[in-house]
């Protein structure tokens, strides 16, 4: 039978089979021999060893559509980047680093601002203005008041979505709302992995329905300099692209160069000043790295 690996820990892989539930599996030795490691998100063929105890072996991995490095997960359709409107205040630099990381891995991103119930209209407008021109869809939710949940469900439906964001922004509360009416066994995966219960130290897939999955990842407080050259960074800010064509120099870094289309767009308010300042800061980090 076929299933989806939703978690891997301590040499065990937990495979979700629609209509059956979770099987606790080991991977056959042939994977180690071939240098292949099963990933969360892999579609796999499994042999059932004991139906009562729900144990089995992974015998084959199906072809991957894609494979992310951070987090290590396969067959992802999109990323949902969650930040709070307040408490904690949004760290725009960290948010932009998440978006850059997804751009690097060619994963479409959706921005979700949670806790709208404790924010004023001025704060919400600031967020809309900062990210409206980036091309990323934006959602505004309140897990406490169940606001925006239907729109969130529509965005997730039929897809495997990586959820990312720092601690304290309400990721777990939103995920619990999405799965509260779903009959599944992930809340009691197995006593054998109870040591990891309620802590997201490993990437794991949460089945919402037969073809909708959320990949929960550990909370992040910082992301360091990316594995990219300084000349590549500008291409990871999609809103720069239309204006970069007006730059005098094809190698323009959109900083001190004259006749820069991106800086002109910034002056005209067509590009977010918040995003541009984050670009400059990360560019300086990349330049500092190359000096050593």
Residues 35 and 151: their CA atoms lie apart, in Å, by 41
- Per the DSSP assignment, residues forming a β-bridge with 9 are 12
Cis peptide before 88 (omega within 30 of 0): yes
pLDDT of residue 198 exceeding 60, the answer is no
- 113-158: pLDDT as tens digits: 999 999 888 889 989 999 988 999 999 999 999 999 999 999 999 9
Q: Which residue has the tokens 């919402």?
A: 208
The token pair at 243 is 């204006």
Best CA proximity match to 61, nearest among 42, 47, 80: 42
More confident residue, 237 or 292: 237
User: What three-state secondary structure class fits 217?
Assistant: coil
The mean pLDDT of 164-189, rounded to a whole number, is 70
% helix / strand / coil in the chain, to the nearest 5?
Answer: 35, 25, 40
In the predicted model, what is the mean pLDDT of residues 241-264?
96
Q: Which tokens is 131 given?
A: 């990210």
The Cα 14–Cα 182 span in angstroms is: 18
Could you tell me the two tokens for 208?
């919402």
Other CB atoms closer than 10 Å to residue 2's CB: what's the count? Answer: 12
Residue 56 CA neighbour count, 13 Å, CB half: 24
Q: Give me the pLDDT at residue 136, please.
A: 95
Is the N-terminal amide bond of 108 cis, ω within 30° of 0? no
CA distance 266 to 275: 10
Q: Are residues 190 and 22 in contact, defined by beta-carbon separation less than 8 angstroms?
A: yes
Residue 144 tokens read as 């406490």
Residue 253 corresponds to which tokens in the numbers above? 């870094």
- Cross-strand bridge partners of residue 213: 160, 207
Tens of pLDDT, residues 258-284 = 999 999 999 999 999 999 999 999 999
Classify residue 210 as left (phi > 0), alpha (psi -120 to 50) or beta. alpha
Residue for token digits 């084959």? Answer: 60
Above 90 in pLDDT, residue 24?
A: yes
- Is residue 196's pLDDT more than 60? no
Cα–Cα distance, 26 to 28 (Å, whole number): 6
Q: Residue 89 and residue 276: Cα distance in Å, rounded?
A: 19
- pLDDT classification of 219: cutoffs 50, 70, 90: low
15: alpha, beta or left? (left if phi > 0; alpha if psi -120 to 50): beta
Contact 33, 24 (CB under 8 A): no
What pLDDT, on a 0 to 100 scale, did the predictor assign at position 50? 87
pLDDT tens across 55-83, in order?
999 999 999 998 887 778 999 999 999 99
**What domains can you pick out in the chain, each with its CATH number?**
2-65 (2.40.50.140), 68-216 (3.40.50.300), 230-290 (1.10.40.50)
Across the chain, which distance is largest between two alpha carbons, in Å? 71
d(CA 180, CA 203): 20
């Amino acid at each position: 039978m076929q299933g989806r690996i939703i978690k891997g820990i301590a040499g065990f892989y937990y495979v979700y089979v629609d209509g059956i539930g979770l099987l606790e599996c080991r991977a056959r030795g042939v994977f180690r021999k071939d240098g292949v490691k099963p990933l969360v998100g892999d579609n796999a063929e499994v042999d059932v060893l004991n139906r009562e105890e729900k144990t089995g072996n992974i015998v084959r991995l199906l072809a991957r559509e894609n494979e992310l490095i951070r987090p290590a997960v396969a067959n992802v359709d999109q990323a949902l980047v969650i930040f709070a409107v307040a408490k904690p205040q949004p760290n725009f630099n960290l948010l932009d680093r998440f978006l850059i990381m997804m751009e690097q891995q060619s994963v479409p991103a959706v921005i979700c601002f949670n806790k709208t119930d404790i924010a004023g209209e001025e704060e919400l407008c600031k967020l809309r203005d900062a990210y409206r021109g980036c091309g990323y869809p934006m959602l505004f939710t309140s897990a406490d008041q169940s606001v925006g949940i239907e729109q969130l469900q529509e965005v997730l439906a039929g897809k495997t979505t990586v959820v990312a964001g720092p601690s304290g922004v309400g990721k777990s509360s939103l995920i619990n709302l999405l799965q509260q009416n779903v009959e599944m066994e992930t809340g009691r995966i197995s006593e054998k992995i109870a040591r990891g219960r309620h802590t997201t130290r490993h990437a794991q897939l949460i089945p919402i329905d037969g073809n909708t999955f959320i990949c929960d990842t550990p909370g992040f407080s910082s992301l360091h300099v990316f594995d990219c050259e300084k000349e590549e960074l500008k291409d990871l800010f999609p809103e720069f692209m239309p204006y970069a064509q007006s730059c005098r120099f094809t190698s323009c870094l959109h900083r001190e160069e004259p006749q820069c289309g991106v800086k002109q767009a910034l002056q005209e308010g067509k590009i977010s000043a918040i995003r541009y300042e984050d670009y400059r800061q990360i560019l300086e980090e990349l330049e500092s790295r190359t000096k050593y």
